Amino acid sequence: MEEKERLEKMTEPLVKWYKDNKRMLPWREGKNPYHIWISEIMLQQTRIEAVKVYYERFMKEIPNIQTLASIEEEKLLKLWEGLGYYSRAKNLKKAAIKIYEEHDGQIPKIYEQLIELPGIGEYTAGAIASIAFNQKVSAVDGNVLRVISRIVGSKKDILLPETKKEVSRALQEIIPEEAGDFNEGLMELGERICIPNGEPLCERCPIRKWCVAFEKGLTNEIPVRVKKTKRTKEKRQVFVLEYQNKIAIRKRGEKGLLAGMYEFPNVLEKNNTKLEQILENWNLKIEQIEEIGQAKHIFSHIEWEMTGWKINVKEKNEEFIWVEKKEIFEKYAIPEAFRYYKNRMR
């Protein structure tokens, strides 16, 4: 059986399975394009169960595009705190402003206009266009790549952009009239049945009849992912500095990792950096010092290995922003990388 024939034959049973088995998720109610857009951005790099809480809180505070376009960035980032990849939140606001200025406050219905918005790539544009407006466009994410690779028995590296483009083209040729249900069905199948870790639940799969990997016992070999180069490891010293019940934070630069975010002062450890020298460089005099533990945080290309210090100082250094402890939890968005040290303040 040819690849195209396999894909054509699976469409109808997949859509039927999705309609019968789809999870009731808040952003699926009413096919509201704003809700779909926000949920798709949140779901990047984040599990569905984790997103639900953030989504409901976000919608309560930012129920529409007008509010999103005008919200203060610090409040937006605080609402996003814990989801990581904060550039996603910043791009939401940029896109909302563009929608207001260029599309009369209405989310564009067509793929070509959606993909021109900040933070919206090929997958997200395809998801919004097909789910909200039922446009016959594909939406290929990691789940879809895994499912389709197994269906057609492909051993091409799914981490390569050209593999994604090939899958997108193949799906574009066979996508049915119910495009949104088809795309969501592929995603749902990948999340719940054709799972990424462990044995796929093939006995529950509605399209296993057309699956090469199931037929030939290749589900452990497909999909193929060629490992990327190892992450760079950085050792960092992190400082929770306290002066008269106020905590020191600072704002990172507008470019690079965690751009524009607030953080606890920290330094890259080089050649056994002396603690005393770091504090001296900041013109800080120690009153009391305590090591508060090791923590690790993994970014896409860098891994931080951190040692934390809780230090009471005798006077403030105006280089930092000194805030009340409660503001750390209520006002300022502190990246997930520092969660361990933030929680030590409770």
CA–CA–CA angle 301, 302, 305 (5° rounding): 155
One-letter-per-residue 3-state SS of 324-346: EHHHHHHCCCCCHHHHHHHHCCC
Question: Which tokens in the block code for residue 309?
Answer: 């210090």
Selected catalytic residue, list 3, 12, 40, 102? 40
Residue that the structure tokens 């980032």 belong to: 77
pLDDT value of residue 137: 96
The strand pair at 321-324 and 266-268 is best described as unpaired
Nearest Cα to Cα of residue 84 among 300, 266, 255, 310:
300
Mean pLDDT of 118-126: 96
Contact indicator for 34, 128 with CB cutoff of 8 Å: no
* 269 labelled catalytic: no
Q: What is the pLDDT of residues 268-325, one digit of tens each?
A: 988 777 888 888 889 988 889 999 999 999 988 899 999 999 999 998 888 999 999 9
pTM: 0.84
Q: What is the pLDDT of residues 55-73, one digit of tens each?
A: 999 999 999 999 999 999 9
Is pLDDT at 222 greater than 90 in this prediction? yes
3-216 CATH: 1.10.340.30
Is pLDDT at 247 greater than 90 in this prediction? yes
- 232-343 CATH pick, 3.90.79.10, 3.40.50.300, 3.40.50.720, 3.40.718.10: 3.90.79.10
Is pLDDT at 228 greater than 80 in this prediction? no
pLDDT value of residue 202: 95
The burial class, CB within 10 Å (0-12 / 13-18 / 19+), for 230 is: exposed
Element (H, E) at 49: helix 48-61
Is pLDDT at 174 greater than 90 in this prediction? yes
- Residue by residue, DSSP assigns 167-214 as HHHHHHHH--S-HHHHHHHHHHHHHHTS-SSS---GGG-TTGGG-HHH
Is pLDDT at 212 greater than 90 in this prediction? yes
Of 119-128, 267-276, 324-333, the poorest mean pLDDT is in: 267-276
Q: What are the residue ranges spanned by the domains of the chain?
A: 3-216, 232-343
